[in-house]
Amino acid sequence: MPDGAIAQPHSRPQQQAMTLVLPAVDGESDLRSFVRTLRTGWRWLLGGWSGGLVLAVAALWLVTPAYTATMVIGPTARVGSAAMGARVPTLNGRDSAGVAEPGAGDESLSDFARYLELFGSGPVADRLATDPAILHALFPEHWDADAGRWRRPPGLLPTVKRALLALVGREDWVEPDGDRVARALRDRLVIDMLRSGPMRRITVRHADRATAIELLGRIAAATDAHLRAEAARRSAAQIAHIKLRLGAVTVAEHRQALSDLLLDQERVAMMIGVDLPFAADMIQPPSAGALPDWPNPAVLVPLAGLVGLVVAGFGLSASHALRERGAGMEAVP
């Protein structure tokens, strides 16, 4: 070694991080190495694709097909040949300012907005819970038709859950009530907006086609009936209060004003009782296809095969990267 020369220490090869980046072999690029790995492991890819298809087919056999019932609703029309007309007296000019609802514009709440909020929930669910046909349709696995009574949910998972809760002194099951009906409908009902307008599409799924159609119609009728009853209750309370005040007022001008207000409220009460939709018009009645549409095998099976193929490719790449990393570490002196 020449004088003044400093011997360079032997550099240890840098260990590669455990990633999916494949190390180059003999100047081979990462892409070529990846393609080579896939070519040598095509059996694993075929197995992953086949496994995904088998699992999808097995799931389709295990899952009960369901029908999707659909209906379209919109706000109750006030004008037009198909409208029921305004239920509240319409005032013009200065008179309308006295009956304006206080608060900002975004605080106003229409009957249709209440309809959408209460659809299948809250007091409407309590009303539906009084109908045995609704309960049997929503919880068929909990109803023992032979014994004519409700039973605990069968199966391994419900049994294990009950055992775990029993250890801490709790119980996980009660007979269906309004709260359980609301939760069941929350999982089944889907409300979508149509073309950024006021109309809404409401769908519900059930294993029986006739039950799905009837269930959607009964929920709509119960929601409309609840809002109609609430409006009738408020109108009756206002009429009773006006009559009470009218009997105590002696000034002629005040009695005339109260009499006019009483006539308006009686007109409102009369229009509430009209046998027409109160809060929502049914643009398209509940309907469902002749064949079950959920789950869709044409979408589920190819998607499961693709997922199996991706998982197999990921596992194959990870296995190859780990082998190359192990070989590189063994080559280090």
Task: Choose among 285, 288, 293: nearest CA to 72.
Answer: 285
286 closest CA partner among 61, 70, 137 = 70
Pairing, β 67-75 against β 200-206 = antiparallel
C-alpha span between 52 and 231 (Å, rounded): 55
8 Å CB contact between 279 and 115: yes
Question: What are φ and ψ of residue 62, in 5° steps?
Answer: -80, -35
Q: For residue 205, give the 3-state DSSP assignment.
A: strand
pLDDT tens track, the chain, 333 positions: 455 455 545 444 444 444 444 445 555 556 776 677 667 777 888 888 999 999 999 988 988 899 999 999 999 876 555 555 555 554 444 444 444 444 444 556 788 999 999 999 889 999 999 999 999 999 988 888 888 888 887 778 778 887 888 888 777 777 888 999 999 999 999 999 998 889 999 999 999 999 999 999 999 999 999 999 999 999 999 999 999 999 888 898 999 999 999 999 999 899 898 888 999 999 999 999 999 988 888 899 999 999 998 898 888 778 777 777 766 565 555
For residue 163, the model assigns a pLDDT of 82
Is the pTM value of this prediction over 0.85? no
CA distance 40 to 21: 17
Q: What is the β-pairing status of strands 149-150 and 190-193?
A: unpaired
* Among 181, 71, 68, CA closest to 132: 181
CA-to-CA distance for 81 and 46, rounded, in angstroms? 64
Instruction: Write out the H or E segment, with its range, that includes residue 70.
Output: strand 67-75
Q: Rounded to whole angstroms, how far apart are CA atoms 126 and 124?
A: 5
| pLDDT on residue 81 | 52
